[in-house]
A and B are shown apart, each in its own frame.
Chain A
Amino acid sequence: MSFIVVGTGSSLPDYVITNEDLSTFLETSDEWIRTRTGISKRHILKDETLTSHAVTAGRRALENAGVLPEEIDLLICTTLQGDYISPSMACLVSKELGVGSGRVFDMNMGCSGFVFALDMADAYFKNKTIKNALIISAEKMSKMVDWSDRKTCVLFGDGAGASVLTQGEGVSGIKLMSDGAWENLHVPGEGGNSPFNETGAPESYLFMNGKEIYKFAVSRIVKDINEILEEENLTADDISYFLLHQANTRIIESARNKLGQSEDKFPTNIEKCGNTSSASIPILLDEVNRKGMIKKGDRLVLSTFGAGLSSGACIIEWKI
């Protein structure tokens, strides 16, 4: 016994920054950003909390699933960092939603978080410990990037996506990878003011070596997907949609070409959301679900990659 996905939800900040807006304070242009990333705009937090979007995404997923909050016996929030380092985002979201279990916690696996959380939920379902799980991925990337660094701040956006899982047989081939190669993508921890600290206060901004991450991403996506398809005796032609982490349109295009699949099987929302880290796949899943693009029996591949370096992929069979 594992799980099936029965509901999805998402929530994005109202405030939108376009590439033109960025070009008013950065030496960049709409054309430069679009041709290299596919991004036109992104949603950015202003006066609201990230927790509020996590709660809204979770509530929408529960409503979509027809599952009550008190029926949820596992809540995992994936985030690089919630509004508080402690308590966890899951504690705050659980109270707001009225989740009926204390089995709530956060998980940080960078952009790969959502697929890692599915793997964790899968273990609970297999163990028959739980009947319903809620996974919420929420990220406030705008508070982690250096807004004077045109190479990184243009790439990211804020938002939250959520999925409700219930008992069933709808996931297979979950594959996770991490290699500890942190140098090319990381956000330093905060320094504090310990008088005993001899390491110096780090600049707490996201750092990314774009070229190395591009190479890692394309090669991992193709390798992970080919491996899980082979393990499940499937081919890429058996898959209705490939939902890839939305980091860069050109990464998606390169992987698509190497997998030999048509463009319509790779839905994207990076144009309007940017890279929302672990929230990107559940936000996209909610979008394709609500557009009615997925039919019962369709197989979806989720494939992600990020800091760690890490990657994750799985096959979801749509059962509703």
Chain B
Amino acid sequence: MAEKKIIEILADYRGVDPSTITKESTFEGMEIDSLDIVELLMTFEDEFGVTIEMNEKFKSVGDVVTEIESLMA
């Protein structure tokens, strides 16, 4: 359930169609750098009411979905 919203936010941030983003999409592949990831994680924190530790482990959309879903569980 978080996945759809996360992809929508990512698509909006990059100005692309949400259908082009999947859980397998990597941030590097989307030309999203480390500070973009922080900016996006802050948006996700507001959206889902969670606190996410800022670290290097987020490489793909799926990594973020897993983290947020586990924080919300």
Q: Which of B34, B39, B54 has a CB less than 8 Å from the CB of A254?
A: B39
Please tell me if the beta carbons of B42 and A250 are within 8 angstroms of each other in the complex. no
> 8 Å CB contacts to B: which residues of A156-174?
none
- CB contact list, A248-275 vs B, under 8 A: 248, 250, 254
Tell me what chain B mostly uses at the interface: helix, strand, loop, or mixed: helix
Contact B38 A214 (CB under 8 A): yes
Q: Decide: A215 and B54 in contact? CB cutoff 8 A.
A: yes
Is B70 an interface position by the 8 A CB rule?
no
A190 within 8 A of B: no
- A212 to B33, Cβ gap below 8 A? no
User: Do B33 and A219 touch (CB < 8 A)?
Assistant: no
Could you tell me the dominant secondary structure of chain A's interface residues? Answer: helix
Partner of B54, one of A212, A248, A250: A212
Chain B residue numbers with a CB within 8 Å of A219 are: 42
Asked if A223 is an interface residue, CB under 8 A from chain B, the answer is: no
Contact A35–B33 (Cβ < 8 Å)? yes
| Per-residue contact bits, chain B 8-44, to A (CB 8 Å; 1 contact, 0 not) | 0000000000000000000000000111011101100
Contact mask A180-211 → B, CB, 8 Å, 1/0? 00000000000000000000000000000111
On whether the beta carbons of A215 and B33 are closer than 8 Å, the reply is no
The size of the chain A interface, using a CB distance under 8 A, is 13
With a cutoff of 8 Å between Cβ atoms, the chain A residues found around residue B38 in the complex are 211, 214-215
Question: Residues of A contacting B37 with CB < 8 Å?
Answer: 211
The answer, yes or no, to whether A36 is at the interface (CB within 8 Å) is yes
B54→A209 contact, CB < 8 A: yes
Is A218 located at the chain interface by the 8 A CB criterion?
yes
Q: Closest CB of chain B to A153's CB: distance in Å? A: 17
Using Cβ atoms and an 8 Å threshold, which residues of chain B touch A218?
Answer: 39, 42
Q: Which residue of A lies closest to B45 (CB)?
A: A215
**With known contacts A215-B42, A219-B42, A36–B54 Cβ distance under 8 A:** no
A–B complex contacts, Cβ < 8 Å, 29 sampled: A35-B33, A36-B33, A36-B34, A36-B35, A209-B54, A210-B34, A210-B35, A211-B34, A211-B35, A211-B37, A211-B38, A211-B54, A211-B55, A212-B54, A214-B35, A214-B38, A214-B39, A214-B54, A215-B38, A215-B41, A215-B42, A215-B54, A218-B39, A218-B42, A219-B42, A248-B35, A250-B35, A250-B39, A254-B39
Give 4 closest A-B pairs by Cβ, nearest first: A211-B54, A214-B38, A211-B38, A212-B54
